[in-house]
Amino acid sequence: MRSIYDFTVNRMDGKSESLETYRGKVLLIVNTASKCGFTPQFEGLQALYDKYGPYGLVILGFPCNQFAGQEPLNKNEIIEFCQKNYGVTFPMFSKIDVNGDKTHPLYRYLKMRAKGALKTEFIKWNFTKFLVDRNGRVMKRFAPATSPEDLCPNIEKLL
């Protein structure tokens, strides 16, 4: 794959969607979980989406159950949980793996282009964030502990 726009992902309703849909947008791609210490970041992510969405930011949430089983919910439960507890309106996708043999191809791509601490590709935990510019370039990776609010300067530079 040469571009982020070459990838297809599955929406929660099971329909495939090409990331080409988001060409020209700034993307914040996040692996999420409903039972994690970082789960309250959904509130901050939604606030970013509300604030910057009109200017071209789209947040893409990818539930992942690879970290201590912190995403045990099924797709309907995930959507209900996110909407009821955090008012999430940004796109959420089907559960994926972000590490190991079954890593989703999108995450293989993201990890190669934005390494983590000590230049590793491995995703350390839920709520690792990747910021992608309007041209589809992976610009930066943020650790799970980085709050959504701390991303504002980086997002504003790309908008």
Question: Which residues are tagged catalytic?
Answer: 36
Look up residue 60 and give its DSSP letter: E
Residues contacting residue 138 through CB under 8 Å, at least 6 positions apart: 4, 109, 110, 113, 114, 130, 131, 132
Are 121 and 104 within 8 A, CB to CB? no
Distance in angstroms (rounded) separating the CA atoms of residues 27 and 66: 23
- CA R_g for the chain: 14
